[in-house]
Structure 1
Amino acid sequence: MSIELICVIVLGLMFVIGTWRDINMGLLGFVAAAGVGGLVLGQAPEEFLAGFPVDLFLTLVGLTYLFGFAQNNGVIEVIVHWCVRLVGGRTALMPWIFFLLTAILIALGALFAVAIVAPLALSFARRERINQFMVGLLVVHGALAGAFSPISVYGIFINDYLTKNGLTPAPLTLFVAPFVFNFVFALVVYAVLHKRPGLRAEADDHLVAPRPDSPDASPEAGSGFASGETGADPEAAVHVGPATASASTEHTAKHPPVRLAPRQVPTLLGLIAMALSVLIFGWDVGLVTITISIVLTAINPTAGKAAMTKVAWPVVILICGVLTYIGVLQSAGTVEWVSAGISAIGIPLLAALLLFYLAGLVSALASSLAIIGVVIALAVPLLESGDIAVGGFVAALAIASTIVDISPFSTNGAMLLANVDPSIRDGYYRQMIAYAGLMCLIGPGLAWLIAAVPTWMGG
C-alpha cells in the first residue's frame, strides 16, 4: 500500500471516528500527524508538528477571548436591544433584525453568534406567534452570511491558508458572495414561511416575557443568557395574566432605551478599537484582540478569568489539529497525488462540482472548517494551474460547505435546536432534517453556478 493511500485512509478515518464517536477531529489530527509522520514517514516531532498554525492559533484565542468579555458582561445583550428598538413595534421586521444582528456579530468575530441570538429570536417568535422555524432559519442564514468577513474566524482561516500556499486571496469576493447567497435564501424562506403559522409550543399561551427593549429587560435580566450562559433555558420567562400580555405588545418606541452600565463601557470600546485597528490600519487581529483582552483583564481581573472560559478551545483544537495533519499530507506528497487524480477527470468545472458536493455532504455531519481546509488543500495544485479562478472557487466552496449548517448535526443547527421549546422539538428536528437535505441537494450546485462558473468563464 502506498504512503499516499495510507494518508488518505487515515484522513477518512478521522472524519468517520470523529463523527461516529463525537471526538474532536483536531485531537485526531494531532494523533494522525504523529502516527503517519513519525511511524510512516520517519519524521521527528518538530517535523510532523511543523504544520501547526501558530498565527491562526493566536487569532482564534484572541477573538473568542475578547468576545467572552462581551458575552459575560451583557454588552452583546445591550447591542441586541438597541437593534430591536430600531423596528419599534413592527413585528414583521424582527426576523430581519435577527438576521442582520447574527451576521454582524459573526462578521466581527463572535464565532457562536447563533448561540447568542437564537434564544432571544425564538422566544420572540413564540411570544408573537410567528413561524419559529422561519425565524430560526433566518438566524442561521444570518450567521452564514457574515461568516466569511475578513476579520471573522472563517475568513481569516481561508485567506491566511491561501496566502501561505502562494495563492492570492480575494477577501471581498469571499465575503460578499456568501452574504448575497444567504440573503437570497433568507428572502425565499421569509416569502414562503412568514404567513404560515408553523409549529406551536405548549408554552405559547403562557410565555409573556418582557419586551427586549422594555425597562424590565436589562442586560442582566430578561434574556436568560446575558451572564454568558448561552445554553440558558429560553422558557424561563415571566408568567403573567392576559392584561399584562396585552400591554406587552404595545409599541416599543414608548419605552426608554437600554443604557450601558459603566462596567460595560471598556468592553464596548475594546470591540470598536478591534474593528477599527483591523479594518482601517490592517493590524494583526490575533495580537490586537489579545492585547485588548489583557487591558480588559487588568481593569477587571475577575471578568478576565470568566472570559477565558469562553475561549472556543474545541474550535481552536479542531482547526489547528486538522491543519497540522494537512501539513503532514503535503510533506508526504498526498495532496499532489489526490489533486492529480482530480485533475485527471479532464474537466476542471466537473472536478470542482464534485469537490463542492463532497464538502456539502461531509459538512452536514462534521465540521465545516475541517472540510474547507481539506478541500482547499486538495485544490491548491488545481488552483495553481490557472484553470480555475481562486476567488470564485473559494467563495463557492465556502457556500457549499456551510449552506448545510441548518443540519441538527452541525454546530449552528445544534445550537438552534437546543433553544426550541421541548414540546415542538421533535417536529422542529424533522423540519431541520428536511431543509438540510434540500440544501445538500441544491446548495453546492447553486454555489457552483452562481459563484464559480461566471468567474471562470470571465477568466
Structure 2
Amino acid sequence: MSAELICVIVLGLMFVIGTWRDINMGLLGFIAAAGVGGLVLHQAPEEFLSGFPVDLFLTLVGLTYLFGFAQNNGVIEVIVHWCVKLVGGRTAVMPWIFFALTAILIALGALFAVAIIAPLALTFARRNGVNQFMTGLLVVHGALAGAFSPISVYGIFINDYLAKSGLTPTPVSLFLAPFLFNLVFALVVYLVLRNRSGLRAAEDTALSTSESEPEESPRLSRNQIPTLVGLVAMAVSVVVFGWDVGLVTITISIVLAAISPSAGKAAMSRVSWSVVILITGVLTYIAVLEEAGTVEWVSAGISAIGIPLLAALLLFYMSGLISALASSLAIIGVVIALAVPFLESGDVHVGGFVAALAIAATIVDISPFSTNGAMLLANVHPTVRDRYYRQMIGYAGLMCLIGPGLAWVVAAVPTWVTA
C-alpha cells in the first residue's frame, strides 16, 4: 500500500473516530502525524512535528484569553444593554442587534461569540414574545457573517495558510462573500419567521409579566473599563497599524492580568484549548500529508475529473456534509490543503474558491451536532428544546442541500467574468 493511500485512510479514520467517539480531532492529528511520519515516512519527532503552527497557536491563545476577561466581568452584557437603549427598546429590531453583536465579536476574535450572545438573545426573545427560533438563527448567521474577517480566528487561519502555500490571500473577498451570503439568509429567515409566534416555554407568561417591570441597566464599573479599553486597543493596533494579533492580544491580556491577577486566572480558564488543539493538530498532520506527497496525489485525482468547477462543486458538498457533523475549521483546513495544487493551475479563481469553501463549510453550522448549533441548543429552555432540536435539524438539512450549491456560484462567478 502506498504512503499516499495510507495517509488518506488515516485522515478518514480521524474524521470517523473524532465524530463517532467525540474525540478532539487535533489530538488524533498529533497521533496520526507521529504514526504516519514515524512509521511510514521514517521521520524523527522534530521532523513530523515541524508543521506545528507556532504563530497561529499564539493567535488563538491570545484572542480567546483576551475575550475571556470580557466574558467573565460582564463587559459584553453592558455592550448589549447599550445597544438595547440605542434602538429605544424596539423588540422587532433586537434580533438584528444580536446578529450585529455576534458578527462584530467573532470578527474581532471572540471565537465563541454564539456562546456569549445566545443566552442573552434567547432570554430576550422568550420574555418579549419574539420568535425564538428566528432569533437563534440570526445569532448563528451573525457569527458566520463575521467569522472570516482578517483578524478573526477563521480569517487568520485561512489567509496565513494560503500565503504559506504560495497562493495570494484575498482577505477582502473572504470576509465580504460570507458576510453578504449570511446577511441575505438572515433577512429571508427574518421575513419568513418574524410574525410567527414561535416556541413558548412553560414559564413564558410569567416572564412576560415580570418584563413589564423596568430592569436595572448595568453600568460600566471601574474594573470593566480596562477590559473595554483593551478591546478597543486591540482592534486599533491590528486593523490600523497591522500589528501581529497574537502578540498584541497576549500583551494586552498580560496587562489586564497584572491589574487584576484573579481576573487573569479566571480568564485563562476561558482559553479555547479544545479549538487550539484542534487546529494545531490538524495542521501538523497536514504538513505530514504534504511531505508524503498525498496532497499532490489527491489533487491530481480531483483534476482528472476534467471540469474544474464540477470538482469544486463536489468539494463544497463534501465540506458541507462533513462540517454538519464535525469541525468546520478542520474540514476547511483539509480541503484547502488538498486543493492547493488544484488552485495553482489557475483553472479556478483562488479568491472565489476559498470564499465559497468558507460559506459551504459553515452555512450548515446551525446543525445541533456542530459547535455553534450545540451552543445555541444548550441555551434553549428545556420545555421546548425537543421541538427546537427538530427545527434545527430541518434547517440544517436545508442548508446542506442548497448551501454548497449556492456557494459554488461565488466560486464560479470570477471564472465566468474572466473567461
| TM-score category, normalised to shorter length | over 0.9
Matched to 1:159, the amino acid is N
* Matched residue, 1:181: 181
**CA deviation after TM superposition for structure 1 residue 373, in Å:** 0.1
Q: After the TM superposition, which residues 142-157 of structure 1 pair with which residues of structure 2 at under 5 Å, given as runs?
A: 142-157=142-157
* Matched residue, 2:25: 25
Judged with a 3 Å threshold, the aligned counterparts in structure 2 of structure 1 residues 159 and 245 are, in CA distance, closer, same or farther, namely closer
Matched to 1:408, the amino acid is P
- Contact persistence 2:127–2:211 (CA under 8 A): no
* Matched residue, 1:263: 223
Under a length normalisation based on structure 2, what TM-score does the superposition of the two structures give? 0.98
Matched to 2:415, the amino acid is W
Q: Which runs of 5+ in 1 are unaligned?
A: 209-241, 249-254
**CA deviation after TM superposition for structure 1 residue 458, in Å:** 2.2
CA distance in 1, matches of 2:383, 2:225: 40
**CA deviation after TM superposition for structure 1 residue 260, in Å:** 1.2
* Matched residue, 1:339: 299
* Matched residue, 2:212: 246
Under a length normalisation based on structure 1, what TM-score does the superposition of the two structures give? 0.90
**CA deviation after TM superposition for structure 1 residue 298, in Å:** 1.0
Q: After the TM superposition, which residues 320-359 of structure 1 pair with which residues of structure 2 at under 5 Å, given as runs?
A: 320-359=280-319
CA distance in 2, matches of 1:182, 1:10: 34
The answer on 1:286 being equivalent to 2:231 is: no
- Contact persistence 1:117–1:139 (CA under 8 A): yes
Which of these residues, 343, 347, 372, is aligned with residue 412 of structure 1? 372
* Matched residue, 2:195: 195
Residue aligned with 2:109, SS: coil
The answer on 1:307 being equivalent to 2:267 is: yes
Which of these residues, 407, 412, 418, is aligned with residue 453 of structure 1? 412
Judged with a 3 Å threshold, the aligned counterparts in structure 2 of structure 1 residues 122 and 247 are, in CA distance, closer, same or farther, namely same
Residue aligned with 2:271, SS: coil
The answer on 1:125 being equivalent to 2:122 is: no
Dislocated runs of 4+, deviation >3 Å: 244-248, 255-258
- Give a deviation string over 1:122-167, Cα, whole Å, max 9, x none: 1111111121100000000000000000000000000000000011
- Give a deviation string over 1:246-273, Cα, whole Å, max 9, x none: 344xxxxxx8864311111111111111
CA distance in 2, matches of 1:395, 1:246: 45
* Matched residue, 2:326: 366
- Give a deviation string over 1:420-457, Cα, whole Å, max 9, x none: 011110000000000000000000000111x1111122
- Contact persistence 1:82–1:258 (CA under 8 A): no
Residue aligned with 1:440, SS: helix
Residue aligned with 2:6, SS: helix
**CA deviation after TM superposition for structure 1 residue 47, in Å:** 0.6
Matched to 1:11, the amino acid is L
CA distance in 2, matches of 1:438, 1:131: 20
Residue aligned with 1:92, SS: coil
Between Structure 1 and Structure 2, which shows a larger proportion of helix residues?
2
- Give a deviation string over 1:51-91, Cα, whole Å, max 9, x none: 10000000000000000111111111111111121111311
- Give a deviation string over 1:210-257, Cα, whole Å, max 9, x none: xxxxxxxxxxxxxxxxxxxxxxxxxxxxxxxx4x54344xxxxxx886
Matched to 1:194, the amino acid is R
- Contact persistence 2:102–2:142 (CA under 8 A): yes
* Matched residue, 2:59: 59
- Give a deviation string over 1:260-302, Cα, whole Å, max 9, x none: 1111111111111100000011110000000111111111111
Percent identity of equivalent pairs: 81
Q: RMSD over aligned Cα, in angstroms?
A: 1.1
**CA deviation after TM superposition for structure 1 residue 207, in Å:** 2.0
* Matched residue, 1:297: 257
* Matched residue, 1:80: 80
- Contact persistence 2:325–2:369 (CA under 8 A): yes
Residue aligned with 1:91, SS: coil
Residue aligned with 2:96, SS: helix
- Contact persistence 2:365–2:396 (CA under 8 A): yes
Residue aligned with 2:334, SS: helix
CA distance in 2, matches of 1:110, 1:145: 13
* Matched residue, 2:16: 16
CA distance in 2, matches of 1:259, 1:277: 27
Matched to 1:114, the amino acid is V
CA distance in 2, matches of 1:414, 1:84: 26
CA distance in 2, matches of 1:408, 1:298: 39
CA distance in 2, matches of 1:403, 1:274: 28
Matched to 2:358, the amino acid is A
* Matched residue, 1:318: 278
CA distance in 2, matches of 1:49, 1:181: 37
